[in-house]
Structure 1
Amino acid sequence: MTLFLAGVVHRAFEGRPLAPADPFLVRVYADMAELYGTAFDQERLAHANRTPFSHMAEGLLDALPAIEDPVDLIVVASAQPDFDPRLSAVSYLTEAVPGTPLAFALGDQGEAAPYTALRLAGQYAAAGRADRVLIAAVDQTTSPADPGPPRQGTDARDGAAALLLSADGPGAPIEVRQYAGLTLDEAHGRLREVLDGGVRRLVAGAGLAPERIAPPSPAGTEVVRPSPEFPCSGVWARLAEEVPRCARDGGTVVVADYAPQGPCGTDRGELSLCVVDFGAAAA
């Protein structure tokens, strides 16, 4: 069963809390760091945004048109886990939308997570278990348990995107494809094959190099880039910007990204594509 993109929005969240970091969270992260032999930077947590997923989910619902029909499935996709394990965006959304949806979170896939969420949504729809779906892709800069360099700074923002899907329209039909175990060169080659089918616009995530995609494509595809500020939700923010023009002019838009797989340093990854056919939009 085909799912139709009925709506897509993105919101950025900025501003740091005035209150100090919760002592409970400080203790949790200190204990985890000791247990796993990694580093916990308490000062980093104190100066972080500390915007929980549930707060961003609330902001997404405010940005979307009012959801009046029952929702059957909710998926919250992220590259990083929520910094506060006591809060649940999944539970919040389950209570905030009409219906009694099945809901779960999906992670540990980097930038591929929202595409996997879309692919799973399509499978639920094909099985007759999800006529209306809400997917949230969330980017959070607060990750005090990560020993790597933080995506933080004086102007760091959190961000989230929501995609509202329906099995019976209205909106543009979508198709999701994921290809694992590809080198970056192979991923660019596979993407060129898709573009050769006649694609008006490509939203290319940070894992892809547009200069290695567009020139060989005879389709005259326009390549647009999302803000690197939002690794998981940025491509969907760019899609949201393109929707008014695409809905007016028609054509096909491809949203794509490439995420490394396996241990650090591997040369293999996953190419994820979401094909949105505005020319076949259902009224």
Structure 2
Amino acid sequence: MTLRLAGAAHRAFEGRPPAPADPFLVRLYADMAELYGTTFDQERLERANRNTFSDLAEGLLDALPALEEPIDLVVVASDRPDFDPRTSGVSYLTETVPGTPLAFSLSDQGEATPYTALRLAGQYAAAGRADRVLVTAMDQTTSPADPEPPRQGPEARDGAAALLLSADGPGAPTDVRQYPGLTLDEAYGRLGEVLDGGVTELIVGTGLTPERITLPSGAPTDVVPASSEFPCTGAWGRLAAELPRFIRDGGTVVVADYVPHGPGDDTGRGELALCVVDFGAAAA
């Protein structure tokens, strides 16, 4: 059974007012830094937005139309775990949305994580275990245990995206495809094969460069880069912002990104992730 996109939302979040960092978190990250032989940057934590996944989830629900029918499955996707281990965005959503949904979180796959979440949600629907699904993705800039600068930059906002999907009802059918073990050149080639099928708009994440994408001759495809401020949710934010136009005009929209394999992998390979949304086949 194919999941259909019934709604989408994206929201950006400013940082909290300046306040001392929580002493528990200071002690936690200081102990972790000592254990792993690195240095904890308390000043970085003091400057950070410090929006937990629960904060982002609460604000995200405010951006969605009211959820009236029971949700069967909730998935929270992020490129890394929440910086505050005492809170749980997935628990907040489970307790807040209507119904008694199964819920779980996914992380540590970079920008590919939302695609994995959508693919797994589709498998639950195909097995008859989820008719209505809420998939969320989080961009959280607070990462005091990471020795590298935040990817979004020190002044970036946090972001969250939501995709509401239904196995039986209105909406555009979605098809998620993930191709691991590709070089970047191979990924562009595979993406070109997908575009040969006729695509109205291609939304690309930060791992793909629009200028390197070869479009089929005469293809009426618009290539739109997602906001680099939101590596994990920017492409989905574009999909959410343009959803009324896509529904009105029909056509096929592809959301795509390329994610290199993690540290320690020197093969130069990664994963191409795609989500194909067929608005031309949307049920009224």
Q: TM-score, normalised by structure 2?
A: 0.97
Q: What's the secondary structure of 2:51's corresponding residue?
A: coil
Q: Which residue of 1 aligns with 2:275?
A: 274
Look up the equivalent residue of 1:273 and give its one-letter code.
L
Using a 3 Å threshold, how does the CA distance of structure 1 residues 85 and 165 change in structure 2: closer, same or farther?
A: same
In structure 2, what is the Cα distance between the partners aligned to 1:215 and 1:228? 23
Within 5 Å, which residues of 2 pair with 1:1-283? 1-151=1-151, 155-216=155-216, 218-264=218-264, 265-283=266-284
**Letter in structure 2 aligned against 1:275:** V
The answer to whether the 8 Å contact 1:214/1:221 transfers is no
Aligned residues between the structures:
283
SS of the equivalent of 1:118 reads helix
Preserved contact between residue 77 and residue 135 of structure 2 (Cα < 8 Å): yes
Secondary structure of the equivalent of 1:32?
A: helix
Distance in 1 of aligned mates of 2:262 and 2:110 = 11
Write the letter of the residue equivalent to 1:51.
N
CA shift, 1:17, in A, is 2.8
Return the alpha-carbon distance in structure 2 between the equivalents of residues 186 and 130 of structure 1: 35
Do the aligned partners of 1:60 and 1:161 also contact (CA within 8 Å) in 2? yes
Contact persistence 2:12–2:157 (CA under 8 A): yes
Q: Secondary structure at the match of 2:254?
A: strand
- Please report how far the alpha carbon of residue 266 of structure 1 lies from its aligned counterpart in structure 2 after TM superposition: 3.7
Note the C-alpha offset of 1:151: 3.8
Q: Report the 3-state secondary structure (helix = DSSP H, G, I; strand = E; otherwise coil) of the residue aligned with 1:228.
A: coil
Secondary structure (helix, strand or coil) at the match of 2:168 reads coil
Moved over 6 A (4+): none
Q: Work out whether residues 196 and 217 of structure 1, in 8 Å CA contact, stay in contact via their aligned partners in 2.
A: no
Shift in Å at residue 243 of structure 1?
1.1
Rounded to whole Å, the distance in 2 between the matches of 1:150 and 1:160 is 16
Of all paired residues, the percent bearing the same amino acid is 78
Distance 2:153 2:114 in 1: 25
Deviation at 1:50, TM superposition (A): 0.2
For 1:129, what is the secondary structure of its paired residue? coil
Q: Does the aligned pair in 2 maintain the 1:48–1:152 contact within 8 Å?
A: no
TM-score (norm 1): 0.97
By how many angstroms is 1:155 displaced?
3.1
Does the residue aligned with 1:121 lie in a helix, a strand or coil? Answer: helix
CA distance in 1, matches of 2:278, 2:2: 11
Report the alpha carbon displacement of residue 218 of structure 1 after superposing the two structures with TM.
4.1
Deviations 1:187-220 (A, max 9, x none): 0000000001000000011101211214455423
Query: Residue 77 of structure 1: SS of its match in structure 2?
Result: strand
Measured against aligned partners, the alpha-carbon deviations of 1:71-119 in whole angstroms (never above 9, x if no partner) come to: 1111100012111000000100000011111101000100000000000
RMSD (CA atoms):
1.3
Shift of 1:4: 0.5
| SS, match of residue 45 in structure 2 | helix
Listed one character per residue, the Cα deviations across residues 130-175 of structure 1 (whole Å, up to 9, x for unaligned) are 0000011000000000011224656320000000000012111100
Shift of 1:184: 0.3
Residue 244 of structure 1 deviates from its aligned partner by 1.4
Q: Quick check: 210-219 or 28-37, which moved more? A: 210-219
